[in-house]
Structure 1
């Protein structure tokens, strides 16, 4: 039998992007000792393609007391228009956040970094992972500090949230199968002379496509691609190239001027086959990367973190009846979601690139179908926004288990306000606390207890810290 070694930290998180920051903040808020390693020096800008926060992610941020502040730093868009034909009315989403919030990724990072620091996360900037090894009890990370000196840290678990070129995934010798879906995309933040309106727009001519979204502070995010301009990422890009793509795809460049940054990149579709290897986990772009179409990348990573954090917490607190099964459920729940996002974002970008008469006809028919059939468009919006994502229910947990819990009003307040404690919430009829199932990975002493506002409602519901139903009474 192995003897548990003393570790430097309970959980070592590699990568201080949004996924790593949310995960580390959750763990530290739950009393777990967390160290967050980031190879960039503190304060170095991390300009990325992420620009939008979807409804389900806003719900997760609401459960952490951050959503309302983030709403002041972006522009809520209630509608999206794709290919000049397909109108998605996001105001129909069954959520308090029935829109897409357009805001730069760094605004999300600032809020999550502040929360993580306030919760007690130990940050190590300018520190790079060189390798790792693990045994039955411990993960040892081999690191290089800002001064170039090597050192090691021991942890009970390690999570790689270090992006598409993940050093953690490399150290695990995990493949990252897939391919480049599109090359030579251009990206810019610009000001406009002409006001395009409060709308997220995606359109294409067959040989070009572009999308445009307002940040709400006078800046606009524009992304574009041209079939006739396929060059390496290292090739320079200027505003004239961005303007030309916009004119061909959108019919106008809206008088673009004064770019604050411009870049060229390619987009891959890749997914790691395993999100867990022993005591090591992958989340965010380290686990999956896909087309930016639909703006789902950062959002999917944040959902990964919300799913994993409470499971690690339950295991480290000794509250999980079956720790291995609970940790394995991270793979079984989140890997299919990553695969779905690869499919949906890939479908959007391929429709945008449609240039043959057959594919353009198929795009027009798909748009007409979704515009005409409300359940189909609702399902599409549910998948893209995250509102419609559900997990397979555990055995004996009741029919709604695995589904997203709506933000219901309870006698003690809104559900997502109660979730800010970071614990399971048990909703039950007044004066009738039910017996919890033995499989619930929670200590009864930590439960947040709430009561239905409707006295006629007799069922009980146990809601996980990530806002999904864990169990319902019969």
Structure 2
């Protein structure tokens, strides 16, 4: 995959406009540009990576997606890997058994993720349009026209497709007329990055009392992120947060404020549960917070958006490159909308558990946690869901049982790993010994299993199984490649 040049941007018939330069938009734009698709990334804010930490965890499946882009190892060095989660005083989830190269939660500020993704997007040739606000949108059978306001006045930007990654207050979503049904689930959540006088170790700790809850997670640089809420403390998002308020929340939930001091950032916000009914409207698509928002419980927000982008990017590139029919874009909604719904329900259940108030509700929460602690399959299912490694997409009727599943980072014959082979946005065919496959150019890498297997598996650029067969013939493989790779 060759990236794009300035000349490529002169062809709007094969270009994409991505609106919103947060993590989701940056990953998507970088993927498209690496695949040779001209991309303009529109952002109403001035250029600059915010030093506000906002999202704080990167889960295992997201790290695998970053690994497929050569970024994960650099991020891991910056962040703080946590292998244990201590929840509500009675449950410790150990992430070590996760079937992944990254069996932990990585605590790292969102701005570090954005920094790596922006660098990659720049190197791939993404054209950035900062201080550019989308004010109008119209689409036809051949493309999308965005009306944008800049310091020069009103201008138009033409592209084959537009993707709204512009957050919970998405202008793109509003302009295509999509509703954002849902409700506010909790108000006056408080965030703070603080130092602690007492050592809490290297686990993420969360607990709740009758009047609120709090979570503490170490960044690894001496600071901890506190996320908390206190009953009866509803205030507007604009109200300032003081250190004493943070201490009171933590004391009420965890029994101590651990000598909190030197806050570097404090903020207040409210949390909604919302999801659009459709991730695609013609030539306009939505991803990340523009498509779904939910409570911060489980740390799913940024992760789900990045995984949306990983699913969508290769599909747009295939359609614009003439390798796939436009109907492939419908699978983006079919695959990612149920995942967004699952995350919304799961994070909602977690936040409602944390909000349990009366003795009966707290007793029920304790019983559920005790059951999860004793029953191994429940623990494994819970960690797989939260980490993202358990996500699989629905397989077509009659397809091999593994189609739609995530493929682990298996070793390859001759050295190397699957997620290294996926770099560049290509498909990877894992072929059994003796099966000869004709080259397909840069869109396909043919690799062999490190341990001999009879199964042929075609892995999509996002690390999920596109096709598989036992004892496949060269003819069956060729037919599969014609269908999926083009």
TM-score (norm 2): 0.92
Match of 2:3 in 1: none
User: Does structure 1 residue 308 correspond to structure 2 residue 302?
Assistant: no
Within the candidate set 140, 145, 161, 2:145 is matched to 140
Contact between 2:43 and 2:133, CA under 8 Å: does it hold in 1?
yes
- The C-alpha deviation readout for 1:304-333, integer Å capped at 9, x for no partner, is 00000011011011111x321x10000010
Contact between 2:13 and 2:142, CA under 8 Å: does it hold in 1?
no
Contact between 1:180 and 1:268, CA under 8 Å: does it hold in 2?
yes
Match of 2:484 in 1: none
Q: SS where residue 371 of structure 1 aligns?
A: helix
Match of 1:376 in 2: 378
Aligned-pair CA distance for 1:81: 1.1
Q: SS where residue 42 of structure 2 aligns?
A: strand
Within the candidate set 34, 37, 44, 2:39 is matched to 34
Match of 2:461 in 1: 465
Within the candidate set 24, 30, 33, 1:19 is matched to 24
Contact between 1:78 and 1:99, CA under 8 Å: does it hold in 2?
yes
Aligned-pair CA distance for 1:414: 0.5
1:261-276 alignment runs, 5 A limit = 261-276=265-280
Corresponding residue pairs, total: 460
Contact between 2:413 and 2:451, CA under 8 Å: does it hold in 1?
no
The 2-side partners of 1:200 and 1:44 are apart by 26
- The C-alpha deviation readout for 1:11-52, integer Å capped at 9, x for no partner, is 000000000000000000111111101111001626353100
User: Does structure 1 residue 236 correspond to structure 2 residue 232?
Assistant: no
- The C-alpha deviation readout for 1:418-470, integer Å capped at 9, x for no partner, is 0113100001023313699xxxxxx6662100011223x11100000000011
Contact between 2:14 and 2:320, CA under 8 Å: does it hold in 1?
no
Contact between 1:409 and 1:415, CA under 8 Å: does it hold in 2?
yes
Q: SS where residue 12 of structure 2 aligns?
A: coil
The 2-side partners of 1:274 and 1:115 are apart by 29
- The C-alpha deviation readout for 1:151-202, integer Å capped at 9, x for no partner, is 0010000000000000000101110011110001111111111111101111
Contact between 2:147 and 2:157, CA under 8 Å: does it hold in 1?
yes
Q: SS where residue 78 of structure 2 aligns?
A: coil
The 2-side partners of 1:8 and 1:257 are apart by 55
Once structures 1 and 2 are overlaid, which stretch shifts more, 390-399 or 289-298? 390-399
1:149-168 alignment runs, 5 A limit = 149-168=153-172
- The C-alpha deviation readout for 1:195-221, integer Å capped at 9, x for no partner, is 111011111102110000000011110
The 1-side partners of 2:374 and 2:438 are apart by 47
Which ranges in structure 2 are unaligned for 5 or more consecutive residues?
A: 1-9, 471-486
Match of 1:61 in 2: 66
Within the candidate set 362, 370, 385, 2:387 is matched to 385
Which ranges in structure 1 are unaligned for 5 or more consecutive residues?
A: 437-442
Q: How large is the RMSD of aligned CA atoms in angstroms?
A: 1.6
Q: SS where residue 197 of structure 2 aligns?
A: coil
Q: SS where residue 339 of structure 2 aligns?
A: helix
Match of 2:356 in 1: 354
- The C-alpha deviation readout for 1:275-300, integer Å capped at 9, x for no partner, is 00000000000000000011000000
1:180-191 alignment runs, 5 A limit = 180-191=184-195
TM-score (norm 1): 0.95
Match of 1:440 in 2: none
- The C-alpha deviation readout for 1:73-129, integer Å capped at 9, x for no partner, is 110000101111111111111111000000000000000000000000000111110
1:217-236 alignment runs, 5 A limit = 217-236=221-240
User: Does structure 1 residue 416 correspond to structure 2 residue 419?
Assistant: yes
Contact between 2:49 and 2:115, CA under 8 Å: does it hold in 1?
no
The 1-side partners of 2:51 and 2:393 are apart by 32
Q: SS where residue 409 of structure 1 aligns?
A: coil
The 2-side partners of 1:426 and 1:44 are apart by 38
Match of 2:112 in 1: 107
Match of 1:397 in 2: 399
The 1-side partners of 2:317 and 2:334 are apart by 18
The 2-side partners of 1:53 and 1:447 are apart by 29
Judged with a 3 Å threshold, the aligned counterparts in structure 2 of structure 1 residues 405 and 58 are, in CA distance, closer, same or farther, namely same
User: Does structure 1 residue 178 correspond to structure 2 residue 182?
Assistant: yes
Match of 1:447 in 2: 444
Once structures 1 and 2 are overlaid, which stretch shifts more, 41-50 or 307-316? 41-50
